[in-house]
């Protein structure tokens, strides 16, 4: 990936979970975007982006999330975001991401929204 | 002896034969026949004709021991023809042995041949026996001679011949045979003795014996003494005299005798000298005795053990014991009081051998116990003619009376000097007075003053023993001497006559104790008292009581006169001191009135003035002073002080209803002074509430005087004056006029102060309203200002400053000082400030600006003047331009901390001269510098060069903190301290961004963003910005930076700058790039900016030809919204 951020993708039933850690800014937003798009195959219900391990997200990352949400919507797939850390969560709220992308406080909540089993049960 | 010859006739022969006891013989060798004469047969003891007639018969008669030698001698003679000569012994038929001398001559024929031998035999037995005896004696003598070192001589005076034995040669160490004749002997004689010896040798002495001594010089050079003893041998008449004698070596004896002589001589001489010394000493002592017997000089003589050898009657009388009883005693036995001092002095004389002259001694002797006497003594070494120290002489003159006079003079002089010396409090002065007689004249001293009451007051106490002094001090306070009592001091005060108690008796003590004046310390430590009156103007105002007792010392009548003189001197001192105090007080009061008058003119607020006024009254007029003012029907204490400084009494003592029972309220109500002169406890404290009375008692209040402060419509307040135990003084009615005058002077101060305060408050309000409330800043600069009104005086209103942000981004800083103070100055200042703001709209060059202000002021009002300094600063470049109109030069502290002052032309103040312009100067301010503009109140001090103020400012700047605001505070503290400035002071400081601020210049690339954020986070954390707020700032700055990166032109490695600083509690960040953002931002870019805006409190975007600058400001938790 990049020095700045790491993306780890796993599958839970028919949901792809991508955990992003590190920082996302103008320098790596496109790369992160690319890896997320590649992780979502057409047979899954959707993508959960877990941002709880992310330290920094700026408007470039937000732009990425909005674009990703648009792309999945076109593929009848849903994007959900898990966020609880204050700095990142605050940014998401400031730009009203939730109007476009549902935000869950916990990964299980996001999986449940897809009807998928909780992570513990997998 | 010649042999008998044939010529002698028969008779002659016979006579000869008979006389010589000899016999003749004839021997015919050819026939062998021997014929003897009858005399010869007789000689041999044979009967006549009985000799056999042969040679053998002859030999048979010869002693066997001599026979062989005789036969040989005869045969030798026959053989040679020489005569026969020899001696031999014979043995007579009766067995006796005789000595015979045999002589024989040959008888020759005509042919000369020997035909026969004829000869004689002579009986020499007698001679032989004598010879043998002599030889034996000679041997013994020789032995004796050798042993006794003697030479033996024989002297024939008539022949001038002397013979010596060989022992003489040995004696003299001469070679054998060298002493040949008289001449050779005389050569040996010592030249000094030669004549005498020669004279002696020339003729025989008259006496039969000689015994002389003379010296000879031996060949080895040694001188030997010889004793010559000789005796004339008895001779028959006509015989030539013969002397025999010995010469004995008596050198050793002579030497021993010489030594003995010398010893004897020495002994005799020593003896004579000792005798002479004894004689001389005896005569000297006798002379001295005679001389000093009647003289008024004490004389003593000590041996080297320091025992008295002799004293004269005068010294005996001084010592108080008979002269004879001195002898053999030590000083400690004779004069115990003096011994400890004198003995070491005498020892010193012994050790050094030098006299000690004019030594002052004092003490007591048995002659007058208890009386201290003084002597002048000289101690000198007494030596014999040989220089040997024999003892110590002492000369003693009594100088008791002289010493007493000297003491009196000394004490009078010392007391006089006390007045001329450094000024002392009265208590200290009297204390010193009491110490003057101690310990030389008295062991203790008490100065009693009689103030008129029933007891004497002990004004000063001194004693040589501090413990006794402390007890005396305590006891005269506890049981004071009653004027009507029996104590000597009381009697002195009553009668005005001196009292001497030489020896205090038990009765005296009891009598004094009986009237309550008993002083225990005195009773124990005092044995003698002299009390003398201290008279002033014919009145006895006290007693000087002197005490003795240490070591049994007591006063005598002669001391009375001294004490009286001292007391009289003390009286003079007290009077002189009183006059001096009076004069001082009068001068002080005049001075006080003048200073109170001055207080009306200095510019202080009312409280400060009244406090100053109250302090001026101390300590001459009061130990404590309060100033009260009437406010709204209440009397309030506005200033209070005691001799330790300003005081703040409890609240209930600071405000009283006007009808309260209190001296100050009484004075206000009555409009007249109120005096509590007497016993405060009884007359004053009963009118005040108990709690306050207790407090007043605690402060030792003794006397109170309250005076109203007169106003146009009755009293406006009162002054309360109080004496406490501190000075122990009382107010008298004579104090009232002065106090009234003081109040008359203080009242206008109050009025004046009230007017002044009103005006000052107005001016300050006006001025503050004209000063800018907020100061604009430019990126990279921080501005702070301080204004301090001159609260200590009417100095408000002249100083002003202003800061404008010019349209080109530069800052215009102006500071000025309107000459004059008060409301008018404040108003003019406001006008100048407005004028600057208007002028700066189209003209920012400082020189031109000042020139126009000058015109403005000249046309506005020709009488007004103002100093002013105008500075422009271009923050990005630090370019600085300035001009000054008579204003102090701005100071600059560079990033290295170096402080300098901007060079300013010595221009005239604004409004002073009508001229074209003010010279403009320029320089550059480095990043991290600080520029300080100020008014003269900061650096000016009265009576001090301005350079000192500049130096002080430079030092404060150099050591001050970085931020502009903190620096202003530091400078104010350092230069003005806690005190409010007398003049008002304005400071204006500009700090340019320093390295301490975060300044980054970054390549406009996305990869730069993360490092930028990291740096920013670190900086924010270091700046103490909280984590959440820091995240906002980081995000906001990142968004702006992202815009700068996205809008960077082309492929050129473009850059952008980030500057972040703290402004108080707010973070201010500036991002500058060199591109121009699109007029219509992309949606996303717009979102970034919007996001940033939503995170911070302020965000400005300025887009110019050169690029875009975004400034954001984010308040942190510490800064109010």
Instruction: State the number of CA atoms in the 13 A half-sphere of B1091 facing the CB.
Output: 36
**Residues in Cβ contact with B799 at an 8 Å cutoff, skipping those fewer than 6 apart:** B767, B787, B815, B816, B817, B818, B829, B935, B937, B984, B985, B986
Do A58 and B1088 make contact, defined as CB atoms within 8 angstroms?
yes
Q: Which of A4, A23, A94 sits opposite B1094 (nearest CB)?
A: A94
By CA distance, what is A66's nearest residue in B?
A: B1084
Chain A from 59 to 78: CB within 8 A of any B CB: 59-60, 62-63
pLDDT of residue B522: 63
At B784, list the tokens. Answer: 């702070």
pLDDT of residue A14: 87
Distances (CA, A) of B231 to B155, B159, B203, B486: 10, 17, 14, 117
pLDDT of residue A16: 93
B954 touches chain A (CB under 8 A): no
- Taking a C-beta distance cutoff of 8 angstroms, is the pair B773, B742 a contact? no
Closest CA to B459 of B427, B505, B494: B427
Neighbours of B584 (CB within 10 A): 13
Residues of chain A with C-beta less than 8 angstroms from the C-beta of B1009: 25-27
Residue B442 has pLDDT above 80, yes or no: yes
Do A59 and B1087 make contact, defined as CB atoms within 8 angstroms?
yes
| The B22-28 sheet, strands edge to edge | B33-36, B22-28, B114-123, B97-108, B84-91
End-to-end CA distance of chain A: 26
pLDDT of residue B7: 42
> What residue spans of B496-543 are helical by DSSP H?
506-514, 520-525
pLDDT per residue as tens digits for the range B1073-1097: 876 555 444 444 567 888 888 889 9
Residue B4 has pLDDT above 50, yes or no: no
B449 touches chain A (CB under 8 A): no
pLDDT of residue A49: 94
pLDDT of residue B988: 92
Do A25 and B1006 make contact, defined as CB atoms within 8 angstroms?
yes
A105 touches chain B (CB under 8 A): no
By CA distance, what is A26's nearest residue in B?
A: B1006
Reported confidence tier of residue B791, pLDDT bands at 50, 70, 90: low
pLDDT of residue B166: 75
B1094 touches chain A (CB under 8 A): yes
- Taking a C-beta distance cutoff of 8 angstroms, is the pair B25, B127 a contact? no
- Of B904 and B205, more confident: B904
Residues of chain A with C-beta less than 8 angstroms from the C-beta of B1035: 56, 58, 87, 91
Give the pLDDT mean for B837-858: 88
pLDDT per residue as tens digits for the range B985-1025: 889 999 887 555 777 777 888 888 888 888 788 778 777 78
At B281, list the tokens. Answer: 């000493």
B1015 touches chain A (CB under 8 A): no
Distances (CA, A) of B81 to B7, B56, B75, B914: 20, 20, 10, 184
Q: Are strands A103-104 and A78-82 parallel, antiparallel or unpaired?
A: parallel
Reported confidence tier of residue B1036, pLDDT bands at 50, 70, 90: very high
Q: Which of A23, A59, A90 sits opposite B1039 (nearest CB)?
A: A59
Q: Please give the angle made by the CA atoms of B44, B46 and B47, to the nearest 5 degrees.
A: 150
pLDDT of residue B347: 92
B1082 touches chain A (CB under 8 A): no
- Taking a C-beta distance cutoff of 8 angstroms, is the pair B250, B223 a contact? no
- Taking a C-beta distance cutoff of 8 angstroms, is the pair B811, B844 a contact? no
- Of B134 and B119, more confident: B119
CA-derived radius of gyration, chain A: 13
Give the pLDDT mean for B157-185: 77
> In which element (H, E) is residue B1056 found?
strand B1055-1063
Residue B670 has pLDDT above 60, yes or no: yes
pLDDT of residue B899: 92
Classify B925 as helix, strand or coil. Answer: coil
What does the alpha-carbon distance between residue B219 and residue A46 come to, in Å, rounded to a whole number? 161
pLDDT of residue B1: 36
B281, with CB counted inside 10 A (0-12, 13-18, 19+), is middle
Mutation pick from A59, A97, A100 vs chain B, by most beta carbons of B within 10 Å, is: A59
pLDDT of residue B137: 66
Neighbours of B568 (CB within 10 A): 17
pLDDT of residue A24: 92
pTM above 0.90, yes or no: no
Residue B539 has pLDDT above 80, yes or no: yes
Reported confidence tier of residue B1048, pLDDT bands at 50, 70, 90: low
Mutation pick from A58, A94, A100 vs chain B, by most beta carbons of B within 10 Å, is: A58
Q: What ipTM was assigned to the predicted interfaces of this complex? A: 0.88
pLDDT of residue B1081: 46
A94 touches chain B (CB under 8 A): yes
Residues of chain A with C-beta less than 8 angstroms from the C-beta of B1034: 56
pLDDT averaged over every residue in chain B: 80
Q: Which of B181-185, B190-194, B760-764 has the highest mean pLDDT?
A: B190-194
Give the pLDDT mean for B185-199: 83
Residue B316 has pLDDT above 70, yes or no: yes
Reported confidence tier of residue B139, pLDDT bands at 50, 70, 90: low
By CA distance, what is A24's nearest residue in B?
A: B1010
Beta partners for residue B922, in sequence order:
B881
Give the pLDDT mean for B943-958: 86
Give the pLDDT mean for B465-493: 85
pLDDT of residue B779: 61
Residue B58 has pLDDT above 90, yes or no: no
Instruction: Locate the DSSP E strands across B862-929.
Output: 866-874, 879-885, 891-893, 899-901, 921-924
Q: Which of B1009, B1028, B1039 sits opposite A27 (nearest CB)?
A: B1009
B661 touches chain A (CB under 8 A): no
**Residues in Cβ contact with B417 at an 8 Å cutoff, skipping those fewer than 6 apart:** none
pLDDT of residue B980: 59
B1091 touches chain A (CB under 8 A): yes
At B116, list the tokens. Answer: 């026969």
Instruction: Locate the DSSP E strands across B618-729.
Output: 624-631, 634-642, 645-646, 655-657, 674-676, 701-711, 714-724
Do A59 and B1095 make contact, defined as CB atoms within 8 angstroms?
no
Share of chain B above pLDDT 70, in %: 85
**Residues in Cβ contact with A85 at an 8 Å cutoff, skipping those fewer than 6 apart:** A51, A52, A54, A55
pLDDT per residue as tens digits for the range B753-775: 677 667 767 777 776 776 777 77
Q: Which of B777-791, B930-944, B994-1008 has the highest mean pLDDT?
A: B930-944
Mutation pick from B1034, B1091, B1092 vs chain A, by most beta carbons of A within 10 Å, is: B1091
pLDDT per residue as tens digits for the range B256-271: 777 777 777 777 777 7
Rounded to an integer, what is the distance from CA B119 to the centroid of its chain?
127
Residue B217 has pLDDT above 60, yes or no: yes
Q: Worst-scoring range by mean pLDDT, B71-85, B206-220, B888-902?
A: B206-220
Q: Could you give the angle at which helices B1027-1046 and B1009-1022 cross, rounded to 10 degrees?
A: 150
Reported confidence tier of residue A20, pLDDT bands at 50, 70, 90: very high
Give the pLDDT mean for B815-833: 80
Give the pLDDT mean for B1033-1039: 92
Share of chain B above pLDDT 90, in %: 9
Classify A115 as helix, strand or coil. Answer: coil
pLDDT of residue B111: 81
């Amino acid at each position: 990936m990049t020095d700045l951020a790491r993306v780890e993708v796993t599958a839970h039933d028919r949901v792809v979970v991508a955990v992003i850690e590190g920082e996302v800014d103008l320098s790596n937003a496109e790369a992160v975007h690319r890896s997320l798009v590649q992780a979502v195959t057409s047979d899954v219900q959707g993508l959960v982006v877990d941002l709880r391990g992310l330290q920094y997200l700026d408007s470039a990352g937000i732009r990425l999330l909005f674009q990703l949400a648009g792309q999945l919507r076109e593929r009848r797939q849903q994007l959900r975001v898990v966020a609880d850390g204050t700095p990142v969560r605050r940014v998401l709220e400031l730009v009203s991401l939730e109007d476009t992308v549902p935000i869950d406080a916990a990964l299980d909540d996001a999986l449940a929204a897809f009807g998928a089993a909780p992570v513990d049960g997998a | 002896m010649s042999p008998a010859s044939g010529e002698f006739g028969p008779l002659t022969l016979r006579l000869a034969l008979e006389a010589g006891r000899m016999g003749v013989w004839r021997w015919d060798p050819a026939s062998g026949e021997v014929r003897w004469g009858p005399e010869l047969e007789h000689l041999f003891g044979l009967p006549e004709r009985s000799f056999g007639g042969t040679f053998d018969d002859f030999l048979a008669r010869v002693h066997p021991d001599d026979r062989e030698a005789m036969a040989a001698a005869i045969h030798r003679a026959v053989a040679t023809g020489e005569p026969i000569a020899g001696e031999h012994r014979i043995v007579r038929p009766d067995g006796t042995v005789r000595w015979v001398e045999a002589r024989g001559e040959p008888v020759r024929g005509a042919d000369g041949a020997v035909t026969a031998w004829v000869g004689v035999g002579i009986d020499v037995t007698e001679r032989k026996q004598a010879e043998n005896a002599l030889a034996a004696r000679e041997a013994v003598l020789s032995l004796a001679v050798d042993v006794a070192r003697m030479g033996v001589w024989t002297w024939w005076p008539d022949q001038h011949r002397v013979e010596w034995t060989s022992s003489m040669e040995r004696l003299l160490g001469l070679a054998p045979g060298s002493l040949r004749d008289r001449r050779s002997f005389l050569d040996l004689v010592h030249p000094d003795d030669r004549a005498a010896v020669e004279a002696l040798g020339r003729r025989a002495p008259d006496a039969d014996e000689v015994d002389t001594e003379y010296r000879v010089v031996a060949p080895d050079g040694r001188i030997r003494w010889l004793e010559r003893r000789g005796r004339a041998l008895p001779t028959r008449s006509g015989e030539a005299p013969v002397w025999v004698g010995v010469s004995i070596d008596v050198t050793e004896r002579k030497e021993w005798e010489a030594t003995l002589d010398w010893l004897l001589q020495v002994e005799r001489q020593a003896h004579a000298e000792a005798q002479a010394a004894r004689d001389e000493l005896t005569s000297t002592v006798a002379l001295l005795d005679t001389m000093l017997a009647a003289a008024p000089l004490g004389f003593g003589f000590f041996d080297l053990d320091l025992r008295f050898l002799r004293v004269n009657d005068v010294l005996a009388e001084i010592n108080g014991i008979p002269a004879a009883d001195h002898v053999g005693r030590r000083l400690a036995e004779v004069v115990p009081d003096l011994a400890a001092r004198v003995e070491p002095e005498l020892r010193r004389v012994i050790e050094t051998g030098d006299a000690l002259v004019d030594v002052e001694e004092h003490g007591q002797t048995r002659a007058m116990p208890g009386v201290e006497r003084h002597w002048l003594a000289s101690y000198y070494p007494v030596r014999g003619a040989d220089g040997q120290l024999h003892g110590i002489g002492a000369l003693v003159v009594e100088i008791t009376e002289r010493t007493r006079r000297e003491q009196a003079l000394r004490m009078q002089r010392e007391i006089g000097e006390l007045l001329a010396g450094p000024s002392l409090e009265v208590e200290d002065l009297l204390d010193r007075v009491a110490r003057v007689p101690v310990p030389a004249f008295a062991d203790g001293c008490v100065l009693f003053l009689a103030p008129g009451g029933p007891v004497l007051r002990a004004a000063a106490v001194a004693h040589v023993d501090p413990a006794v002094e402390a007890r005396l001090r305590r006891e005269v306070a506890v049981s004071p001497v009653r004027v009507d009592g029996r104590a000597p001091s009381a009697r002195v005060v009553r009668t005005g006559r001196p009292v001497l108690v030489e020896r205090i008796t038990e009765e005296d003590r009891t009598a004094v104790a009986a009237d309550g004046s008993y002083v225990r310390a005195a009773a124990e430590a005092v044995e003698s008292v002299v009390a003398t009156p201290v008279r002033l103007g014919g009145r006895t105002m006290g007693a000087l009581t002197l005490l003795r007792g240490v070591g049994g010392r007591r006063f005598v009548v002669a001391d009375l006169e001294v004490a009286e003189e001292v007391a009289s001197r003390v009286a003079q001192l007290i009077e002189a001191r009183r006059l001096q105090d009076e004069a001082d007080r009068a001068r002080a009061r005049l001075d006080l009135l003048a200073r109170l008058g001055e207080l009306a003119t200095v510019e202080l607020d009312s409280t400060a003035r009244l406090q100053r006024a109250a302090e001026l009254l101390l300590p001459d007029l009061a130990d404590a002073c309060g100033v009260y003012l009437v406010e709204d029907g209440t009397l309030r204490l506005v200033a209070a002080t005691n001799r330790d400084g300003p005081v703040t009494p409890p609240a209930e003592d600071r405000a009283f209803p006007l009808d309260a029972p209190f001296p100050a309220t009484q004075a206000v109500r009555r409009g007249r002074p109120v005096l509590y002169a007497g016993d405060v406890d009884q007359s004053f404290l009963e009118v005040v509430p108990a709690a306050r009375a207790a407090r007043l008692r605690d402060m030792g209040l003794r006397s109170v005087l309250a005076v109203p402060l007169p106003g146009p419509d009755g009293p406006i307040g009162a002054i309360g004056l109080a004496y406490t135990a501190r000075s122990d003084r009382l107010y008298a009615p004579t104090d009232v006029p002065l106090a009234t005058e003081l109040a008359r002077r203080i009242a206008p101060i109050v009025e004046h102060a009230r007017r002044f305060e009103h005006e000052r408050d107005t001016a300050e309000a006006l001025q503050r309203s004209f000063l800018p409330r907020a100061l604009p800043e430019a990126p990279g600069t921080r501005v702070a200002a301080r204004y301090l009104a001159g609260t200590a005086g009417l100095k408000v209103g002249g100083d002003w400053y202003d800061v404008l942000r010019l349209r080109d981004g530069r800052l215009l800083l102006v500071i000025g000082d309107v000459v004059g103070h008060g409301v008018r100055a404040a108003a003019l200042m406001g006008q100048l400030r407005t004028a600057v703001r208007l002028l700066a709209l189209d003209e920012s060059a400082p020189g031109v600006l000042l020139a126009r202000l000058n015109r403005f002021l000249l046309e506005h009002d020709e009488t007004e003047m103002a100093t002013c300094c105008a500075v422009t600063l271009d923050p990005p470049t630090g370019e600085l331009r300035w001009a000054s109109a008579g204003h102090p030069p701005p100071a600059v502290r560079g990033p290295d901390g170096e402080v300098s002052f901007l060079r300013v032309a010595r221009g005239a103040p604004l409004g002073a001269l009508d001229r074209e312009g003010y010279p403009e100067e320029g320089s550059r301010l480095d990043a991290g510098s600080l520029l300080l503009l100020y008014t003269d109140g900061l650096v000016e001090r009265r009576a001090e060069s301005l350079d000192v103020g500049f130096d002080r400012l430079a030092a404060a700047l150099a050591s001050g903190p970085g931020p502009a605001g903190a620096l202003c505070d530091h400078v104010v503290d350092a230069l003005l301290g806690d005190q409010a400035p007398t003049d008002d002071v304005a400071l204006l400081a500009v700090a340019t961004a320093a390295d301490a601020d975060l300044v980054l210049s970054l390549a406009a690339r996305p990869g730069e963003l993360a490092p930028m954020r990291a740096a920013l986070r670190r900086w924010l954390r270091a700046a103490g910005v909280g984590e959440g707020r820091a995240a906002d700032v980081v995000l906001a700055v990142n968004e702006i930076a992202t815009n700068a990166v996205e809008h960077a032109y082309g492929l050129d490695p473009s850059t952008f700058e980030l500057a972040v600083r703290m402004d108080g509690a707010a973070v201010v960040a500036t991002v500058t790039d060199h591109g121009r953002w699109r007029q219509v931002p992309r949606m996303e870019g717009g979102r970034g900016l919007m996001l940033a805006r939503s995170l911070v409190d302020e965000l400005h975007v300025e887009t110019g030809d050169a690029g875009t600058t975004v400034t954001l400001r984010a308040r942190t938790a510490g800064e109010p919204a």
